[in-house]
Structure 1
Amino acid sequence: MGEVASIVRGASPRPIHAFLTKGDHGVPWIKIGDVAKNSKYITETAERVTEAGARKSRRVHPGDFILSNSMSFGRPYISKIEGCIHDGWLAISGFESSFIPDFLYHLLHSAPVQAEFARRAGEGTIQNLNADIVKSISIPIPLIEEQERIVAVLDKFDTLINSISEGLPREIELRRKQYEHYRDKLLNFVELREAA
């Protein structure tokens, strides 16, 4: 992974309370609590840091990935905002020549990659994911066209599973049509008489 992307640890200005601001001029301060468990994107933050605090932190830009490195480590998110991350995050950027973002999201979120993160993070006394571990992970790099095809399939399943407004009614309609098809086939006595 380190050969195709830049992976760095976040940084925290200390003491953090001295750099927090309520003003709109502050820089979004991205924390684990700012993203929902099943969310793919970071779109807003509850707190902001001053420009001085931002200079002592790690900036991320829209399109960059952030990866939690402790607690629920290995969970990827795509930043939709400019902001700063503390040392509980890793930032992943510079991957665009090898990956489309949605494919990289699905790849980092996949069971094999997550299992490898867990295995390597567990090698120390405290489970912790660091930049060197993520850099050392071997990952496939399909052609961009194949990545786009895979993303289209996975995003369709994601919508069906996670969107009550879109996925559930569509699934119900498909099951209804399937039921009607089999009901009509099973109850078509004309075909049965002709076969006899």
Structure 2
Amino acid sequence: MNQPNRDDVNFRALMDDVRPLDSVRNRADPGRPRLAPSESQLARRESAAAQADGHDFLSDDFVDLVPPFDPLAFRRDGIQQGVLDRLRHGGYSVQSRLHLLRRPLEECRRLLAPFILEAYAHDLRSVMIVHGRGREIDSAPNVLRSYLAKWLAQFDEVQAYVSAEQADGGLGATWVMLRKSERAKAANRERQQKRRG
């Protein structure tokens, strides 16, 4: 028996018990959309919250207010200005977003640490935080923006952040670049080793 005939026989043997869908329901039933988070999502959130408890430094103590029309910018030593410029201009894709619009400051503080830690744990590199911007220096969105600038710099996982371009939300949104996790660094080294031979 030649190879094509053998493959045909093997395929028929594998598909022997497969039956077509009936014509009334000729597509798979995806079920009802989930409104409540799954158990695994809840477990990940609890884990992130437990890790976030170590980030008590994210306090709502006094902060210098950033003027409403000044862009936010921060980069750690070793991060090139070109990386910051590329981040500002949307050169990296948004891998996750956190929307903090119209939320109380305390809730924003509670949501930030789990978001950053979970993004880092899932090897995400560029995320966006949408926070809004007021016209007055003491407006609620501008106060949040000022605290966000203080809080983000306190995370070891954050390499840089910068206000977005107008098309991406302008001064009411901030791009955040996270450092590579050890797992991602090891995978990158492995890829480089394979490429070299």
TM-score, structure 1 as length reference: 0.20
Looking at secondary structure, tell me which structure has more strand per residue: 1
TM-score (norm 2): 0.20
- Specify which structure has the bigger relative contact order, considering alpha-carbon pairs within 8 angstroms and separated by 6 or more residues: 2
